[in-house]
Each structure stands twice: as structure tokens, then as C-alpha cells.
Amino acid sequence: MDRNPLCCLPTPLHRLERIDLGVELWIKRDDLTGFALGGNKGRKLEFLAQEWLRTTPTAIVTCGASDSNFIRQLAVLGRMLGIVVHAAVMDLPYDEFAGRPERVSKMHQGGNERLSRESGAIFHKFPDDDWEVLYGHMHRIAEDLGPNTAIVPVGGSSPLGVYAFVQAAMEVGGEFDTIVCASSSGSTQVGLTTAFQGTSTKVVGIAADPEPALVEDFADISRQYTDRFGGKPLEPEDFTLDLRFVGPGYGVPSEAGQNAQAVLLGSEGIYLDPIYSAKAFAGLLKLAEEERLGNKVLFWHTGGLPSLFSEYG
């Protein structure tokens, strides 16, 4: 498919020489995509932008946490296209089964929300509640805005989001035993798993949400993708999702993540964000200790660095 070029692609892929984990460790630098302060969400927006140029919606509606990386980048894209972005947000949406985590960080005072608002996004803020309640708010806002409103699922996890990461997988030269990435709304892990299906490369998602049923959502996104692009959909058992590193909950930094941040920064001079990539790297460190990664490993750095300024600013 055609894309609207927003990102600096391919992003760097290089070996991490200074950190010794007993494996050959590489990193994919999607923190350096370049669009609206970087991050993996720009890859999805390239294809969504092209679709919106064709369909010309009068408004765009999405949802997420108020400090969402995706909403930040979507707000900038909306400004570039001249389309108003509406965001249904909660400071700390959560899964009712897991319960609401205690507010232990400053993430909800945050940098991403300010950047999104300054880019023209209209925030519709609701009291913290279950994700399903937030999705309902998003759809009601879309109904109020009229039939020519584009609805974007949380995090851009749609068939086009999956397609973006099937394409991203083509930037990976050579064979890796394991690819480790942060995983939440799903399109990054679904796209990479789709791309490497049937190969010797295993994709491991480190969950940022305490929801075992996420793999059901991933399978649903995969079915939507294959309905549009063809192929065989993935089933829940096709996804490897490690839930041990969520910490206090979604949107809240973890002690293991903070330790992982210190390890990578001290050895390689690379920052991780506290909500996604730090938890993912904490998972990678533990999996290496457990000798479950194989010999050649790729860490997919998904970005999200403005969150650092919310947490430590």
C-alpha cells in the first residue's frame, strides 16, 4: 500500500556491544522514527494518513490515557492534514479484572497531554474507569460528530497498524532467534508475529497491561488484518505474551523497569520510557537470565520518550 511518508525509515538497527547478557544483542531504534518526537506509532500513521487523504473525514476520534504517545502523534498529524482530532481520555484507564492501580507516578500531569492539546487535539476527559467504558465514550463522541468521522482504535491498533509492522519487519536484516517488544494494544506484536510466522524467529511481547485476555484481542486484530489483506489469521496461542513485568499496572512505572532503564543507559547511553520500553527491557533481562532467548536477540525500542519528562520533570 501507499504510505504518506512521515518517518525517517528505515530506523537504525545496531548491535549493543557494551552490555553482556550472554547473548548477541541488537536494538531496533523506533525511538528515532523522527515524526512528532519519534516512536513506533508514526509507522501506523503513515498508512492511516494516506487513507484519510483518500476518504477525507471531517473529524478523527480516538481514545487512550491522557498522556498517550499515540494521541500526541495523531494530534500532530491531524494538524498537518487540517482535520480536528478528538480524544476520549482518562488519566489512568484500567482493566476491571485487575483493578485500578494506585497512583504512584506523575505520568498524569504530563508532557504528552500538553503537546497533544497544543497541536490542536480536543480532549474529552472522563473519570478513571475500565477500558470498555472509555471505548463507549469514544463511540458516543463519534456519533455526535456525525457519519464522516474516522474512528481510530486505541494505539492505532487496526489492520493498517498491523500492516505497518509487517512492513517494518522487512527492515530487519539477518535472522534473530528472538525479537522482544513492548505489547499493549497489539498491532506491533501482531504485525511482527505475522511477518515472522513460519520462520525460526520468535516474537515475544512484554505486556504493559495486566490482562491475560490481550491475546484474544490480538487474534481479533489479526482476523481483521487478514480479512483486508489476505492470509491465515493468527490464533491466541500463536502469541507469546509475558505478563510478569507489568508492575503496579498500566501507565504506572515499575521498579524492574526503572532498574532496566539504568542498565541500558549506563551501558549503552540509550534512554527507555517508563511505561512501555523500560518494562519490555526488564523482561528481556529476565528472559536472558533464564536462558530463554536463544543466541541472537533483537530488542525493538518502541519509543515514548516524552513520558520521561512527565515522570522526572
pLDDT in tens, 179-204: 999 999 999 999 999 999 999 999 99
Same-domain check for residues 21 and 73: no
pTM for the complete prediction?
0.95
Same-domain check for residues 125 and 69: yes
Residue 100, pLDDT score: 84
User: Helices 214-229 & 159-168, crossing angle to 10 degrees?
Assistant: 80
Same-domain check for residues 54 and 151: yes
Q: How confident is the model at residue 174 (pLDDT cuts 50, 70, 90)?
A: confident
> Each residue of 80-125: pLDDT tens digit?
999 999 999 999 999 888 788 876 555 555 678 989 999 999 999 9
Phi first, then psi: what are they for 98, rounded to 5°? Answer: -80, -25
Report the domain count for the chain: 2
Same-domain check for residues 80 and 96: yes
Residue 101, pLDDT score: 83
Q: Which of 130, 156, 182 is the last residue of a domain?
A: 156
Check which CATH number belongs to the domain holding 180 and give it.
3.40.50.1100
> Each residue of 261-287: pLDDT tens digit?
999 999 999 999 999 999 999 999 999
Residue located via cell numbers 535472522: 175
In order, the DSSP letters of 149-211 are EEE--GGG-SHHHHHHHHHHGGG--S--SEEEEEESSSHHHHHHHHHTTTSS-EEEEEESS--
Residue 306, pLDDT score: 86
Domain assignment present for 283: yes
Q: Which of 156, 191, 216 is the last residue of a domain?
A: 156
302 and 188 Cβ atoms separated by less than 8 Å:
yes
Give yes or no for residue 313 having a pLDDT over 60: no
Distance of alpha carbon 46 from alpha carbon 213, whole angstroms: 29
Residue 1, pLDDT score: 85
Same-domain check for residues 170 and 149: no
Domain assignment present for 179: yes
Same-domain check for residues 237 and 187: yes
Q: How confident is the model at residue 173 (pLDDT cuts 50, 70, 90)?
A: confident
Give yes or no for residue 252 having a pLDDT over 60: yes
More confident residue, 62 or 251: 62
Same-domain check for residues 206 and 119: no
Alpha-carbon distances of 272 from 53, 113, 281, rounded to whole Å: 33, 19, 8
Distance of alpha carbon 63 from alpha carbon 36, whole angstroms: 18
> Each residue of 1-24: pLDDT tens digit?
899 999 999 999 999 999 999 999
Domain assignment present for 49: yes
Domain assignment present for 5: no
Same-domain check for residues 171 and 239: yes
89 and 66 Cβ atoms separated by less than 8 Å:
yes
Domain assignment present for 211: yes
Q: Which domain holds residue 289?
A: 13-40+157-312
Domain assignment present for 6: no
Give yes or no for residue 168 having a pLDDT over 90: yes
Domain assignment present for 7: no
Residue 106, pLDDT score: 53
As given in the structure block, the three cell numbers for residue 267 are: 551501558
Residue 97, pLDDT score: 80
Same-domain check for residues 175 and 228: yes
Taking residues 290-305, report their average pLDDT.
96
Same-domain check for residues 34 and 163: yes
Same-domain check for residues 36 and 50: no
Domain assignment present for 175: yes
Same-domain check for residues 192 and 222: yes
Residue 169, pLDDT score: 97
Beta partners for residue 11, in sequence order: none
> Each residue of 122-154: pLDDT tens digit?
999 999 999 999 999 999 999 999 999 999 999
Residue located via cell numbers 508475529: 193
Q: Which of 138, 156, 174 is the last residue of a domain?
A: 156
* Mean pLDDT of the chain, nearest integer: 94
Distance of alpha carbon 277 from alpha carbon 255, whole angstroms: 13
